[in-house]
Amino acid sequence: MTNSASTSTSSPLSATGVLYVVATPIGNLADMVPRAVEALQTVALIAAEDTRHSSRLLAHFDIKTPAIAYHDHSDDQRTEHILQRLLSGEHVALISDAGTPLVSDPGYRLVREARQAGIQVVPIPGACAMIAALSAAGLPSDRFAFEGFLPAKQTARCSVLQSLVNETRTLIFYEAPHRILETLRDIAQIFGAEREVVIARELTKTFETIRGGPVAEITDWVAGDSNQQRGEIVLLIRGASAPTASDMNAEAERVMRVLLEDLPIKQAASLGAKLTGLKKNFLYQWALDNAKKT
C-alpha cells in the first residue's frame, strides 16, 4: 500500500477509471482530510447527493470539478452515465451531504455496479457521525450494531425496538430531531426506564452536545429543553446484559430438556428461545454443556 495521496494516475488494476468514495465533514470543515481535497480537485466528475448542499464545501476548498446529483432516487440512466465515464478511463468521486457515503446515505447501488464492472473502488476515509458518537459515548465499543434510522410511524418503530431489546451489543441509531422525544419515550417503555442511552447532537458543530444517562432521565431533559430537539442526532443504547447461568431457571431447564429429547441442539435452542425469552446462543451453549446429562 502506498502513502501517496495522488488520484491522477490510472488504476494499477485495470484501464478503467477509479471510483473514489470520499468522506466529507459532518459539520466542522476543518475535519476535511487533505487526501479528500486532492481527490475532489483532480477527478473528472463528482457525484454528489445534493449539488446545492455540496457547493459550499467545494467552494471553501476551491474545488472547481463539475458535479452531478446522485442520490437514492437517481434512475438507472444516471448510474449508467457514471459507469460509462468510469469505463472510459475517467476518475469519479462519490460524496454524500456529510460524512461517509453509504453509511445511511446513497451510493450502494453505484459502488456495487462499479465493482461488478471491474472498476476499482477506493475509499478515502474521514468523518462518520455514528463512529464519532460511539467514540465519545462511554458505552462498550468492542461490539456494536448500527441500525440507521428507526421507522417514522410508532407501531413500526416499537416493533423494531422490541426485536432489539435483548441485543447485547451497543445499539446506534440516527434520529430526526422532530421524532427524538417520541423515540426516547418508546425506548423507555420497551427497554425499561433505567436502560442507559446517550444522545449525541450536532457533532463537530457549534452546539455539539453529548449526554448520557437512564433513558427516563434523558427523556425528561430533552422534553424540558427544546434546543435538544434540533439538529442532527445520533442515539446510542447500552446493550442488554448477557444471560448468565443464574438466568436458567427451573422452568427454562425443563423446557430445554424436553426439546432436546426430540430435536437437535440447534433447533432446540431456537425453539427454546421463543418459549423462554432467553437468548438462543445462551441456550445453545447450555445445551452443549448439558446435553449429556439429559
Does CATH number 3.30.70.260 belong to domain 18-127? no
Higher local confidence (pLDDT), 34 or 273:
34
Asked whether the beta carbons of 205 and 231 are under 8 A apart, the reply is yes
Angle between helices 215-223 and 180-191 (to 10 degrees): 160
- Domain assignments of the chain as residue spans, ordered by start: 18-127, 130-237, 245-293
Q: Is the pLDDT of residue 4 over 80?
A: no
Q: Is the pLDDT of residue 116 over 70?
A: yes
Q: How far is CA 237 from CA 18, 126, 170, 181, 199, in A?
A: 38, 24, 6, 15, 9
Closest among 276, 192, 278 to 237, alpha carbons compared: 192
What are the backbone dihedrals phi and psi of residue 275, each rounded to the nearest 5 degrees, phi first? Answer: -80, -30
Q: How confident is the model at residue 248 (pLDDT cuts 50, 70, 90)?
A: confident
Q: How far apart are CA 36 and CA 155, in angstroms?
A: 41
Beta partners for residue 214, in sequence order: 196
Beta partners for residue 210, in sequence order: 200
Q: What share of the chain is helix, strand, coil (3-state, %, to 5)?
A: 45, 20, 35
Q: How confident is the model at residue 246 (pLDDT cuts 50, 70, 90)?
A: low
b/e map of 251-279 (b: 16 or more CB within 10 Å)? Answer: ebeebbbebbeebebeebbebbbeebebb
pLDDT digits (tens, 9 = 90+) for 166-192: 889 999 999 999 999 999 999 999 999
Angle between helices 180-191 and 154-164 (to 10 degrees): 40
Instruction: Provide the phi-psi class of 200: left if phi over 0, else alpha when psi is between -120 and 50, else beta.
Output: beta
Q: How far apart are CA 289 and CA 260, in angstroms?
A: 12
pLDDT digits (tens, 9 = 90+) for 66-87: 999 998 787 889 999 999 999 9
Q: Residue 51 CB: number of other CB atoms within 10 A?
A: 16
First-residue to last-residue Cα distance in the chain: 55
Query: What average pLDDT does the structure give for the chain?
Result: 91
Closest among 85, 54, 91, 89 to 71, alpha carbons compared: 54
Its pTM surpasses 0.85: no
Task: Extract the C-alpha cell encoding 20.
Answer: 473514489
Asked whether the beta carbons of 131 and 36 are under 8 A apart, the reply is no
Of 8-22, 101-115, 163-177, which range is least confident? Answer: 8-22
Q: How far apart are CA 30 and CA 204, in angstroms?
A: 10
Q: How far apart are CA 204 and CA 99, in angstroms?
A: 11
DSSP 230-264: SS-EEEEEPPPPPP-GGG--HHHHHHHHHHHHHS-
Domain covering 130-237 in this structure, CATH number: 3.30.950.10
Q: How confident is the model at residue 287 (pLDDT cuts 50, 70, 90)?
A: confident
Q: How far apart are CA 8 and CA 145, in angstroms?
A: 37
Q: Residue 46 CB: number of other CB atoms within 10 A?
A: 23
